[in-house]
């Protein structure tokens, strides 16, 4: 049985959003509207019934009601994980400009969004009319930023939990036991986090007498998956099918989030027409919660459609006629959108702004798309200057390319014909991604045991009759040659990149009784392990390119015919593309290179 509180929230909210026409409101207003920006965590388009893209999405009556009074954006792209999307939304700038390309962790060396970046509340300050506050998840502060990170970044007030609840595996928090921070003051809260976020936001909003901007970033429905308070959802844990409780917990969390959003919206109490409400997802749905027919392997963390296409709803006095918009838009466009609604100019920042205002679409949802392509990215290793590959580095593997072999560092011996070691990737494949490289050892004693020695650097040391090069050591792997004295071993590039270092050196040591000390050393081979850097672009016709730099994989999809991206048109190499697909590939590459060329790499 659905709790009456949910039905009441929906009814009250429906009454709230029925407002006078935009033209009438604009004629009456002397102050800018209040702005409520709501961020949903890990909620993709498959989770909202109003998008009608999943077979059986969770119930979201309040968001569906909001959508009826909003412009619904069908083609809104985010980044595939949370911190880069939040950084882009706050700055109006892509991650390769701000240095935020991946989720910000809890390590001692983690860097956050630089304080040199101008974020939305700071931009609003240039107009002098708004007060502002942030509630819920921040996730933009680095290790050195501390509990005042949101305040130091530019918000006048902050109340919430700074990062993910499960970000510290040794001491995970939960939705009912979490570290609360209020303007730098830390405590522990046992109130259900989704409800607490709404309470904090409503408490602050109720005290404001000036135009306000409230950024309400829910942790829900990010893991840890759990059963929310029963009054917030309609799922009965005792009646769910066996085998996948996380999926049903996820559905309950989405419904509970919707219930609390209804309470937030009905409790705002703003006069009709004086409130702009924006709801947006930070990335696609995580695996356990993905609803059919979406591919459960193509969600959050990936640059597939399910990882980057997110809900985006905007309602308020600037909406002339609610409806659906098919234009290509990005989450970072909310920076310029809020700025235009508030009457401030992003150009005053003095930096490259990638954001474009969505206000024209609020007046006419069917307006022609101002963007010709969408862009998203994920790169590992946050920091200013990261995520800007050169045209030479932004080359993916392809069967037409020659093999790429790691550098031969020498030091084979003893003897006139020591074994030869090589580590090569066919078709230009580098030590990244899921590339399949071949480790070959030839010219060794037949049927001989030995070791593959792997290190992160080269420090030659005389040892048992030869010279051992890899050091410091990472791993020793036993090996054995065949009857011809050879070993051909396929190696996935991610095995080496998984060590977490930026270089690799490998060398084989083989038992050889013919040598004075009973061993023979191959040459050492080594090279840099590139940081993973993936980019994606999609054009108006639905052709989409996903490319991993430094000889990683490239994928091209025609989403007009293959909406769930199951057929990689580049699987057989560029030479086998159709004329039309080849033209789109060339155009997408040119667009991507032109965009990256606007930013100089390095700090």
| Predicted pLDDT at 494 | 64
CA end-to-end span of the chain? 57
Q: How far lies 341's CA from each of 71, 218, 321, 344, 360, in Å?
A: 15, 23, 17, 8, 11
For the chain, give the number of residues: 603
**CA 518 to CA 323: how far, in whole Å?**
79
Q: What percent of the chain has pLDDT over 90?
A: 80
Q: Do residues 104 and 83 make contact, with C-beta atoms less than 8 angstroms apart?
A: yes
CA 493 to chain centroid: 22
Of 371, 378, 377, which Cα lies nearest the Cα of 357? 371
- Count of Cβ atoms closer than 10 Å to residue 590 Cβ: 12
| Predicted pLDDT at 271 | 58
Per residue, what are the HEC states of 27-53? Answer: HHCCCCCEEEEEEECCCCHHHCHHHCC
Classify residue 444 by its DSSP letter: P
Which domains does the chain possess?
34-290+309-354 (3.40.720.10), 404-528 (2.60.40), 533-596 (no CATH)
Phi (first) and psi of residue 108, to 5 degrees: -65, -20
| Predicted pLDDT at 537 | 98
**CA 555 to CA 559: how far, in whole Å?**
12
At which residue do the structure tokens 């609604």 appear? Answer: 341
Q: Which long-range contacts (CB under 8 A, 24 or more apart) does 206-210 make?
A: 206/269, 208/34, 208/131, 210/129, 210/130, 210/131
Q: How far lies 546's CA from each of 103, 141, 538, in Å?
A: 19, 29, 9
- Give the angle subtended at the CA of 71 by the CAs of 68 and 72, to the nearest 5°: 85
**CA 540 to CA 587: how far, in whole Å?**
12
Secondary structure (DSSP) of 129-174? --EEEEEE------TTT-TTHHHHHT-S-EEE--S-TTSSTTS--B
| Predicted pLDDT at 602 | 55
Q: Walk along the chain (603 residues) in steps of 10 and give the mean pLDDT of each run.
A: 50 48 47 95 98 97 97 98 98 97 87 96 96 97 92 98 78 89 96 98 96 98 97 96 93 98 90 86 97 97 98 96 97 98 95 97 97 96 91 89 93 95 92 86 97 94 94 92 95 65 90 95 91 94 96 95 97 95 98 93 58
**CA 400 to CA 406: how far, in whole Å?**
19
Secondary structure (DSSP) of 198-251? HHHHHHHHTT--S-EEEEEE--TTSSSP----GGG----GGGSPTT-HHHHHHH
Of 324, 330, 292, which Cα lies nearest the Cα of 309? 330
Q: What is the pLDDT of residues 189-224, one digit of tens each?
A: 999 999 999 999 999 999 999 999 999 999 999 999
| Structure-block tokens of residue 513 | 């009784």
At which residue do the structure tokens 């078709």 appear? Answer: 427
Query: What are the beta bridge partners of residue 328?
Result: 75
Secondary structure (DSSP) of 482-509? -TTS-EEEEEEHHHHHTT--SEEEEEEE
Q: Which residues, at least 6 apart from 400, have a Cβ–Cβ distance to it below 8 Å?
A: 427, 573, 574, 575
Q: What is the pLDDT of residues 354-371, one digit of tens each?
A: 999 999 999 999 999 999
């Amino acid at each position: 049985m659905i709790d009456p509180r949910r039905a009441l929230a929906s009814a009250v909210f429906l009454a709230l959003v029925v407002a006078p026409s935009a033209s009438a409101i604009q004629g009456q207003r002397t102050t800018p509207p209040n702005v409520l920006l709501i961020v949903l965590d890990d909620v993709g388009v498959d989770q909202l019934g109003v998008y009608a893209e999943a077979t059986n999405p969770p119930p979201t009556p309040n968001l569906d009601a909001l959508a009826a009074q909003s412009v619904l954006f069908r083609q809104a792209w985010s980044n595939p994980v949370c911190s880069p999307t939040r950084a882009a939304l706050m700055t109006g700038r892509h991650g390769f400009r701000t240095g935020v390309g991946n989720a910000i962790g809890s390590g001692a060396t983690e860097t956050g969004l630089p304080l040199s970046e101008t974020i939305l509340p700071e931009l609003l300050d240039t107009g002098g009319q708004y007060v502002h506050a942030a509630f819920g998840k921040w996730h933009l502060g680095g290790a050195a930023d501390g509990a005042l990170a949101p305040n130091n970044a530019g918000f006048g007030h902050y109340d919430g939990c700074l990062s993910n609840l499960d970000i510290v595996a040794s001491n995970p928090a939960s939705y009912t036991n979490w570290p609360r921070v209020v303007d730098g003051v830390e405590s522990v809260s046992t109130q259900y986090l989704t409800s607490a976020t709404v309470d904090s936001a409503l408490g602050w909003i109720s005290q404001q007498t000036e135009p306000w901007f409230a950024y309400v970033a829910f942790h829900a429905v990010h893991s840890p998956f759990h059963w929310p308070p029963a009054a917030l959802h309609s799922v009965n844990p005792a009646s769910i099918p066996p085998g996948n409780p996380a999926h049903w917990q996820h559905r309950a969390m989405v419904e509970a989030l919707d219930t609390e959003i209804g309470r937030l919206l009905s409790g705002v109490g703003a006069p009709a027409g004086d409130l702009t409400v924006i709801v947006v997802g930070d990335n696609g749905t995580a695996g356990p919660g993905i609803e059919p027919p979406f591919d459960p392997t193509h969600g959050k963390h990936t640059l597939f459609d399910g990882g980057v296409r997110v809900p985006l709803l905007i309602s308020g006095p600037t909406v002339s006629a609610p409806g659906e918009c098919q234009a290509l838009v990005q989450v970072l466009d909310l920076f310029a959108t809020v700025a235009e609604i508030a009457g401030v100019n992003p150009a005053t920042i003095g930096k490259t702004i990638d954001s474009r205002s969505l206000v024209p679409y609020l007046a006419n949802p069917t307006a022609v798309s101002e963007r010709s392509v969408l862009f998203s990215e994920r790169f590992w290793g946050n920091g200013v200057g990261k995520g800007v590959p050169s045209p030479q580095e932004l080359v993916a593997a392809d069967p037409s390319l020659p093999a790429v072999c790691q550098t031969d560092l020498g030091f084979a011996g003893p003897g006139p014909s020591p074994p030869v070691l090589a580590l090569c990737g066919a078709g230009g494949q580098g030590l990244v991604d899921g590339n399949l490289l071949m480790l070959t050892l030839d010219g060794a004693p037949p049927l001989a045991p030995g070791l593959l020695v792997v290190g992160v650097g080269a420090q030659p040391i005389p040892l048992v009759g030869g010279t051992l090069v890899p050091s410091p050591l990472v791993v020793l792997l036993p090996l054995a040659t065949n009857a011809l004295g050879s070993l051909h071993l396929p190696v996935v590039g991610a095995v080496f990149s998984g060590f977490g270092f930026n270089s690799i050196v490998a060398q084989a040591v083989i038992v050889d009784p013919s040598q004075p000390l009973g061993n023979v050393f191959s040459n050492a081979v080594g090279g840099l392990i590139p940081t993973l850097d993936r980019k994606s672009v999609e054009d108006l016709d639905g052709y989409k390119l996903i490319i991993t730099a430094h000889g990683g994989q490239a994928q091209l999809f025609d989403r007009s015919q293959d909406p769930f991206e199951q057929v990689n048109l580049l699987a057989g190499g560029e030479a086998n593309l159709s004329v039309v697909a080849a033209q789109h590939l060339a155009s997408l590459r040119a667009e991507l290179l032109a965009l990256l060329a606007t930013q100089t790499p390095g700090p």
